Amino acid sequence: MATEVAGEQLAGLARYGSVHLVDEVGSTNDYALSLAPKHVTAIVIARRQTKGRGRFKRPWFSDEASLTASLLLFTDTPDFPHPSFLTHLAGLALSRAVEQVTGLATQIRWPNDVIYKDKKLAGILCEGRKSAVAVGIGLNVNQESFPEDLPDAGSLRMATGRAWDKLVLLEGFLREIFAGIERTGNGESAQVLADIKARSAIMHRRVEMQTLLRKHVGTVIDLDSEGRVVLRTDSGRLIVLGAGDVRRLR
Ligand code: BTN
């Protein structure tokens, strides 16, 4: 990948941290976390990922048409957002970046999938080790089709009919996530949360939420200040859920 990257693009990315371009890696999140002892903000971009993983340890499909990257951050930085809020900030940042670059009005499927017309364009996995946290993004950019076992997947190319530059998208994501972190540090969390809700694909919708322990069916009433789902179940109980898989019901 390094040979294809223009100097000015690299300089654009390097404004946000030290840039590591790798041809092949197991998982960019692991690579990023291996850099943690240096305690320097870093961006890892891989052309190929052989053991990419998603939430709940699921395998993550990617190929050379994907953007697979991880941003290494440190929670012991002054005014750093709570790690559970970071995951929502990352979803907002990626949804905004995709919209700014491509014009697609993307939504966030809680907690942080980026979707367009019910197709999943991107997934985000935040993983921490001591004060380091890797924000891993897998964005389907230039695929023209997906394996049959991924009927829910879509790409920017499939949605728009044209190819996109992966690093322009990554730079947009970096700009947006650092802006979101700065806003929360400046006491604007409520406004950031309002932006997240405005893009949420599940607000006021009937959903099925699968948690580790059980399945809940109900209507999403709100997202609380930590970004957790407030659900009114069909049996009339109000519950707050911080993790799980959401499926919209008609
Ligand atoms: C999900 O939707 O389950 C999250 C998928 C996250 C995939 C990205 S690709 C870059 C980074 N490295 C990984 O191993 N996973 C994340």
What domains appear along the chain, each with residue ranges and CATH number? 8-199 (3.30.930.10), 206-248 (2.30.30.100)
The pLDDT tens digits of the residues spanning 18-28 come to 999 999 999 99
Nearest CA to ligand 1 atom 7: 138
- pTM of the entire structure? 0.96
Any ligand 1 atom below 6 A from CB of 55:
yes
Any ligand 1 atom below 6 A from CB of 184:
no
Rounded Cα distance between 98 and 101, Å, is 5
Average confidence (pLDDT) over 227-248: 96
The pLDDT tens digits of the residues spanning 45-88 come to 999 999 999 999 999 999 999 999 999 999 999 999 998 999 99
Q: Which pLDDT value is given to residue 39? A: 97
Q: Sort strands 42-49 and 18-25 into parallel, antiparallel or unpaired.
A: parallel
> Three-state SS for 95?
helix
Q: What percent of the chain has pLDDT over 90?
A: 94
Average confidence (pLDDT) over 224-240: 97
44 Cα to the center of ligand 1, angstroms? 13
Rounded Cα distance between 55 and 159, Å, is 24
- Out of 28, 108, 125, 245, give the residue to mutate to test ligand 1, the one with the largest number of ligand atoms within 8 Å of its CB: 125
Any ligand 1 atom below 6 A from CB of 25:
no
**Residue 143 above 90 pLDDT?**
yes
